Structure 1
C-alpha cells in the first residue's frame, strides 16, 4: 500500500513513528471527451487570455485573489517554508473524546495508520488504550500542504485517521432555504412512519450495498467492446515542411503585391521631385536673360 506521509503521533510522553496510507479510493468510471467529427481526445490548454498564448508550467505563479482581479502573489519558497514548519512538527493528540460527540458532517476522508520502524510497541499501546476506553484522539496534522483537524480511532485492528472539517468550513444550517418549521403531525401518519422504519431496521452490512450505476456502465462498456463498437483516435497530423514553405512563400507574395502600388507611387513622386530640381537652374537663367 502506497505511503503518503511519514511522521510521529504523540500523546503525553509517548511517541509513535507512523506511516499514512489512503483508506479509500474513488472508483468512478472516468469518461473522456472526444471530438465528434474525428473521435480524437479533446485537449485542454492553459491559455493566458491577455497574451493569447499557452502558458508553460515554469511561467505560472500562485496567488490569492483577495478582491475582484486583485491578487497577492506567493512565492514557492515562501509556501515551502510554511509547509516545512508545519511538517517538521509531530502530530500531537490534543484531546480524547467520544466518537458519538462528533457529527458525521465534520468527517472528510479516511487514512490508515501503520507503525514505522520501531513504532510497533507504542502503536499497539495506543490501539489497545483507545479500544478499552472507547475514546478517539483529536489531533492536528499536515496533509498535502493543508493543516487538518483529525480524529484518530480504531477500525478493526488498525488505527485510522479521519480528517475533520474545521467549524468555519461547515456551512451554517440556518442558511439552508425552504426548511419547514415544526408543524402539527397526525398521530396516525407518525405511527405508520415509525412502523415502516422498524420493519426496515437491520444491522449495517456494507457488503450489501452496491454501486448499481457503475456496474451497469461497466457492463455497457464491455458489451460495446465485445461487439467491436469501438473507435481509435487519429494520430496528430505531422506538419509538412513543404506545405509550410509554400504557405510562407504565398503569404510573402501576397504581401509584396499589396505593397507594390504604394512603392510605385512613391517612386513616381520621387522622379517628379528630381525632375523639378533639374529644371530649376534653367528657369533661373531664362529669367535672368529676360
Structure 2
C-alpha cells in the first residue's frame, strides 16, 4: 500500500512514528471526451487571455486574490518553507472525546496509520487505550499543503485518521432555503411511518450495497467492446508528413497544368490580294 505521509503522532510524552495510507479509493468510471469527427481525445490548454497564447508550467505563479483583479503573489520558496515548518512538527493529540459527539457532516476523508520503524509498541499502546476507553483523539496535521483537523480512532485493529472540517468550513444550516418549521403530522401517518422504519431496520452490512450504475456502465462498455463498437484516435500528422503532403499537392497541381491541353488559337481569315487589270493598247 502506497505511503502518503510519514510523521509522528504524540499524546502526552508518548511518540509514535507512523506511515499514512489512503483508506478509500474513488472507483468512478472515467469517461474521456473525443472529437466526434476523428475520435481524438480533446486537449485542454492553459492559456493567458491577455497574451492570447498557451502558458507553460514554469510561467505560472500562485497568488491570492484579495480584491477583484488584485493579487498577492506568493513565491514557491515561501510556500515550501511554510509547509516544511508545519510538517516537521509532531501531530499532537490535544483532546479525547466520544465519537458520538461528532456529527457525520464534519467527516471528510479516511487514512490508515501503520507503525514506522520502532513504533509498534507505542502504536499498540495507543490502540489499546482507545479501545478500552471507547474514546477518539482530536489532532491537527498538515496533509497536502493544508492544515487539517483530524480524528484518530481504531477501526478493525488499525489506527485510522479521519480528516474533519473546521467549524467555519461547515455552512450554516440556517441558510438552507425553504426548510419548514414545526409541521403538524397526522398520528396514523406517523405510526405507519414508524412501523415501516421498524420493518426495514437491520444491522449495517456494507457488503449488501453496490454501485448499480457503475456496474451497468461497465457492462455496457464491455458489450460494445465485444461487439467491436470501438473507435481509434486518428494519428496527428507530423510536420514532415504535412510538408510532404504539400509537396505532393503542389506537384499534382503543376502536372495538371502541364497535362491540360492548350486552347486552340482562332485562325485568322486570309486577306484577299488586289489584282490590277492591264489596259489593252490599240495598234
DSSP 3-state at the match of 1:132 = helix
After TM superposition, the score normalised by the length of structure 1 is: 0.83
Using the TM superposition, give the Cα deviation of residue 238 of structure 1 relative to its aligned residue in structure 2, in angstroms: 1.1
CA distance in 2, matches of 1:241, 1:217: 43
> Could you tell me which residue of structure 2 aligns to residue 175 of structure 1?
175
1:209-234 deviations in Å (ceiling 9; x for gaps)? 00000000000000000000001001
1:241 paired to 2:246: no
* Greater helix fraction, Structure 1 or Structure 2: 1
CA distance in 2, matches of 1:175, 1:245: 67
DSSP 3-state at the match of 1:63 = strand
CA distance in 2, matches of 1:184, 1:130: 44
1:77 paired to 2:77: yes
DSSP 3-state at the match of 2:71 = strand
> Could you tell me which residue of structure 2 aligns to residue 45 of structure 1?
45
CA distance in 2, matches of 1:209, 1:65: 44
Q: CA RMSD in A?
A: 1.4
Larger radius of gyration, structure 1 or 2? 2
DSSP 3-state at the match of 2:64 = strand
CA distance in 1, matches of 2:235, 2:58: 28
1:18-37 mapped onto 2 (5 Å cutoff): 18-37=18-37
CA distance in 1, matches of 2:101, 2:247: 74
- For the structure 1 residues 66 and 245, does the alpha-carbon distance in structure 2 shift closer, same or farther, using more than 3 Å as the test? farther
Q: How many residues align?
A: 247
DSSP 3-state at the match of 2:197 = helix
CA distance in 2, matches of 1:124, 1:193: 46
> Could you tell me which residue of structure 2 aligns to residue 138 of structure 1?
138
1:148 paired to 2:164: no
CA distance in 2, matches of 1:163, 1:68: 32
DSSP 3-state at the match of 2:225 = helix
> Could you tell me which residue of structure 2 aligns to residue 288 of structure 1?
none
DSSP 3-state at the match of 1:39 = coil
CA distance in 2, matches of 1:90, 1:12: 12
After TM superposition, the score normalised by the length of structure 2 is: 0.85
Using the TM superposition, give the Cα deviation of residue 241 of structure 1 relative to its aligned residue in structure 2, in angstroms: 3.5
Using the TM superposition, give the Cα deviation of residue 242 of structure 1 relative to its aligned residue in structure 2, in angstroms: 5.6
Runs of 5+ consecutive residues of structure 2 not aligned to the other structure: 249-283
1:19-72 deviations in Å (ceiling 9; x for gaps)? 000000000000000000111000100010110110000000001111111111
- For the structure 1 residues 147 and 245, does the alpha-carbon distance in structure 2 shift closer, same or farther, using more than 3 Å as the test? farther
1:1-290 mapped onto 2 (5 Å cutoff): 1-239=1-239, 240-241=242-243
CA distance in 1, matches of 2:129, 2:71: 49
